Amino acid sequence: MNNRIRSVRFFAPVLTLCAAIFCGASLAQNFPNHTVTFIVGYSPGGAIDQSARLLAQELSKRWGQPIVVDNRPGANGTIAATAVANAKPDGYTILVTATSHNLNKFVNKDLRYDVEKSFSPVAMTVDVSNILVVKADAPYQTLDQFITAVKAAPEQFSYASQGIGGIPHLAGEMFKLKTGTRIMHVPYKGAAQGMTDLIGGVVDMSIPSTGSVMNFIEQGKLRALAVASNQRFKQLPNVPTFAESGVPDFIVSTWHGLLAPADTPPEIVFKINADVNEIIQKEAFKNALLTQGSVAAEPLTPDQFSQRLKKELKIYGEVASAINLGAQ
């Protein structure tokens, strides 16, 4: 009898582990078996919405299930993020968001969720470098010429962003810190009016994502001076990086990615991640993104995506602290 008891005690944890592994594998194998919802915190037609719909179309084909793209714009994406943070953690409700998701931590002190703890990073889909642009007929042909002009007339230059706390805002402040320049920040309630005023000469520069200004550059309405990446942008091979232009360690990018509610089963997170990573490596998908002005991200595991977000929070947290962002 004692031997039987000892055997039961020995094998019970093993059987429990095997059952957990089997259940996890079964859960992932059966996912999804009904409609999945992508909640997007931005209006239809924008870069994030476009990449979300493109991915949803490809995943729907792969999964044999419909994927609904639910746009819930407003409050810099926090309305959508709140909805997903409170959703059932089963993989059927996914947040499609961007870099601004992280930045909301420094801008909005009244968030009803925790930027890090309320979500499980799933996959990054797009990674687009930001780029410094001026109006096409500006007298500066290079970044060095622009910096020289700004230093010669401090506080007489301005830069546009789509709002306080967004990537173009923090990129502008990083630029000022790294170059020792003084440039007035002019926040807009969206990117469109800021670009209109930049083209019209109301403001002097901006550092938006390449995707958001490619059409203006190709149309000859804006001039690109430097790209905030380790390497030149494929579609603008003649535009140098900041490092090549004398401003080292100036790397700024705008990502799009998928976040699930916290406590979503890791088996489901890994399945979605694997399927997304296969899709974003296909040439047809990459080319479709390029037509939208976006660039497919390098495939990351959920843990690598999580580490990317943590690193980004640290970098932008330092900039936010330096400019006292929360008080603006």
Choose the final residue of a domain: 245, 270, 300: 245
Residues 177, 79 within the same domain: no
Residues 191, 261 within the same domain: no
For the entire predicted model, the pTM comes to 0.81
Cβ-Cβ contacts under 8 Å for 268 (sequence gap 6 or more): 27, 28, 31, 90, 91, 260
The number of domains in the chain is 2
Of the candidates 80, 5, 17, 21, the residue with the CA atom closest to the CA atom of residue 46: 80
Residues 279, 260 within the same domain: yes
Residues 144, 236 within the same domain: yes
Residues 146, 90 within the same domain: no
CA torsion sign, 328 to 171 to 143 to 200? Answer: negative
Cβ-Cβ contacts under 8 Å for 324 (sequence gap 6 or more): none
Q: Is 141 within the bounds of a domain?
A: yes
Residues 260, 295 within the same domain: yes
Residues 45, 112 within the same domain: yes
Q: 245 by DSSP, 3-state: which?
A: coil
CA distance linking residue 57 with residue 289, whole number of Å? 13
101-146: pLDDT as tens digits: 999 998 888 899 999 999 999 999 999 999 999 999 999 999 999 9
Between vectors from CA 189 to CA 165 and to CA 48, what angle results, nearest 5°?
A: 75
Tens of pLDDT, residue by residue, the chain (328 residues): 555 555 555 555 655 555 545 555 566 789 999 999 999 998 888 889 999 999 999 999 999 999 999 999 888 899 999 999 999 999 999 999 999 899 999 888 889 999 999 999 999 999 999 999 999 999 999 999 999 999 999 889 999 998 888 889 999 999 999 999 999 999 988 778 899 999 999 999 999 988 789 889 999 999 999 999 999 988 899 999 999 999 999 999 989 999 999 999 999 999 999 999 999 999 999 999 988 878 999 999 999 999 999 999 998 898 888 888 865 5
Q: Are 85 and 263 in contact (CB under 8 A)?
A: no
Residues 153, 220 within the same domain: yes
Residues 76, 110 within the same domain: yes
Residues 259, 283 within the same domain: yes
